[in-house]
Amino acid sequence: MSFQVINPATGETVKEIPVWDDATVEAALSQVAEATPGWTNTPIAERCDLMRKAAQVLRDNKDRYAQIITTEMGKLINDARAEVEKCALVCDYYADNGAEFLKDESLASDASHSFVAYLPMGTVLAVMPWNFPFWQVFRFAAPALVAGNTGLLKHASNVPESALAIEEVFRLAGFPTGVFRTLMIRASQVQKVIEDPRVHAVTLTGSEPAGRQVAATAGANIKKSVLELGGSDAFIVLEDADLDEAAKVAVASRYLNTGQSCIAAKRFIVVDAIAEDFVARFKAGAEALQPGDPMNEATTLAPMARNDLRDELHQQVTDSIAAGAEAITGCQPGEGGGAYYLPSILDRVEPGMRAYGEELFGPVAIVIRARDEHDAIRIANDSPYGLGGSIWTRDTQRGERLARQMQSGATFINGLVKSDPRLPFGGVKNSGYGRELSRLGIHEFVNAKTIWIK
């Protein structure tokens, strides 16, 4: 049994990597368990220095790692390079700020001295997706390792070379053997790893069903978990918005990474007064995208990661059109080989259609008409998801007022929703719980231990 690396631009199988048997998994778990006490007791300054070296390894090998990403899941090569650079940025961020984030916090009490010490939990298992195969891992690994935890990675089955390359980064940076290991295992093997007493916590970025399974296993074993699941982010355009800017960002937000992003704008909620003008601008921007070879720097729309994902997306689109949605552009697979889908817009989407209630994980935007700002917020919150969202208005005070009403982990006013190492990242409702990045992210996998002295 093996993992297959299939180039989504061509459909060609370029490599096969064996799946581990139980004995190999056991050896890796034992190695990490053996390394954990020493890493926990390594001074924070040394851990931060090694994380800076990891950032340098990423930059030194940026082109090679980017080619792995593009070959495995089809990301545009320039975007793949940017992803590797962003991983280096998060490594630098925690190397620079980790000691401050983890320093003891004095608290007044009846003791002579009382404080909270932020101490590592042990070993954290990460179950990660394919859509940002380096970034999703490093935004967990950088804070977790700086905090003194060891790490285990179970990556998506279609990006095995990325998984092995990430382990290589930490090895080349000089991290002690066993501090970070990639497990070449199937999804069916994850439950046993979570249940293992040598694993102390788990984090997952992925689908809602996968999150429910991981959370159930972690809960049954009384282990901390963090979940970052699906999203159906609202992009609210009000009547006083800068429509040219909103449409330009709408194209970037919906079609970046071929629409395969949890925080991509997916539901474009537009007030009636300017809906026709906005949709016309949005359509022009979408139709200007050029599908092609993701290794070609002139290409602006890459293939989807797999044929089955493209086919599932197309079924959601055709079902929604049959239910009354209006196809504005695209709404068809691309011609020729590869997992291509045309940049698409569905207008006049309404409750009851698949496109209204489900996450469309690909290059399809849906437009929902709203009467006014109150109706727009109602529609935005009429979703089982709550990851990100944006509001477009020239009145920033109005935007802030409405942002507080939006049920999401983040709301951006007049800007592209994105993750930033300096800002907390995570969702509410079925988009998950817990936070990554920033000070909050490094505190997710530590023991906030009270120490009382008389």
Q: What is the CATH number of the domain that holds 243?
A: 3.40.309.10
Q: CA–CA separation, 30 vs 24, rounded Å?
A: 10
Clarify whether residues 174 and 285 are in a common domain: no
Is residue 166 a part of any domain in this protein? Answer: yes
Mean pLDDT of 37-59: 98
Clarify whether residues 248 and 301 are in a common domain: yes
Other CB atoms within 10 A of residue 371 CB: 12
| Residues 132-189: tens digit of each pLDDT | 999 999 999 999 999 999 999 999 999 999 999 999 999 999 999 999 999 999 999 9
Calculate the CA 225 to chain-centre distance.
16
DSSP for 231-243 reads --EEEEE-TTS-H
Long-range contacts made by residues 321-327, C-beta under 8 angstroms, separation at least 24? Answer: 321/346, 323/352, 323/353, 323/354, 324/348, 324/350, 324/353, 325/349, 325/350, 325/353, 325/355, 325/366
Clarify whether residues 296 and 161 are in a common domain: no
pTM above 0.85, yes or no: yes
Structure tokens at 358: 């489900």
Helix (H, G, I), strand (E, B) or coil at 427: coil
| Residues 271-320: tens digit of each pLDDT | 999 999 999 999 999 999 999 999 999 999 999 999 999 999 999 999 99
| Residues 73-116: tens digit of each pLDDT | 999 999 999 999 999 999 999 999 999 999 999 999 999 999 99
Clarify whether residues 214 and 258 are in a common domain: no
CA distances from 67 to 165, 227, 295, 374 (A): 11, 29, 8, 46
Clarify whether residues 67 and 119 are in a common domain: yes
Helix (H, G, I), strand (E, B) or coil at 68: helix
Clarify whether residues 23 and 36 are in a common domain: yes
Clarify whether residues 78 and 133 are in a common domain: yes
Res 165: pLDDT:
98
DSSP 384: S
Clarify whether residues 175 and 31 are in a common domain: yes
**Is the model's pLDDT at 1 over the cut of 90?**
no
Is residue 81 a part of any domain in this protein? Answer: yes
* Of 180, 149, 186, 150, the residue nearest 166 (C-alpha): 180
Clarify whether residues 397 and 439 are in a common domain: no
Q: CA–CA separation, 12 vs 27, rounded Å?
A: 33
Q: Residue 395 — left, alpha, or beta (φ > 0 → left; ψ -120 to 50 → alpha)? A: beta
* Of 75, 55, 57, 54, the residue nearest 66 (C-alpha): 75
Number of domains in the chain: 2
Clarify whether residues 316 and 415 are in a common domain: yes
Is residue 426 a part of any domain in this protein? Answer: no
Res 306: pLDDT:
97
Show which residues are catalytic. Answer: 228, 262
Q: Give residue for tokens 């011609």.
A: 335
Q: CA–CA separation, 81 vs 86, rounded Å?
A: 9
**What domain range includes position 34?**
2-229+431-453
Res 336: pLDDT:
83
Clarify whether residues 200 and 239 are in a common domain: no
Q: CA–CA separation, 389 vs 268, rounded Å?
A: 10
Q: Give residue for tokens 């990430």.
A: 166
Mean pLDDT of 259-276: 98
Contact of 343 with 289, CB cutoff 8 Å: yes
β pairing state of 389-392 and 385-386: unpaired
Task: State the CATH number of the domain containing residue 441.
Answer: 3.40.605.10
* Rg of the chain over all Cα atoms, to the nearest angstrom: 23
**Is the model's pLDDT at 337 over the cut of 90?**
no
Is residue 121 a part of any domain in this protein? Answer: yes
Angle at 357 between CA 372 and CA 156, to 5 degrees: 130
Clarify whether residues 249 and 303 are in a common domain: yes
Res 121: pLDDT:
98
DSSP 354: H
Q: CA–CA separation, 234 vs 392, rounded Å?
A: 11
**32-52 b/e with 16+ CB inside 10 Å = b?**
bbebbeebbeeebeebbebbb
Q: CA–CA separation, 167 vs 180, rounded Å?
A: 6
**Is the model's pLDDT at 119 over the cut of 90?**
yes
Other CB atoms within 10 A of residue 92 CB: 20
Which amino acid would we find at residue 283?
Answer: K
Is residue 222 a part of any domain in this protein? Answer: yes
Is residue 425 a part of any domain in this protein? Answer: no
pLDDT category at 391 given cuts 50, 70, 90 is very high
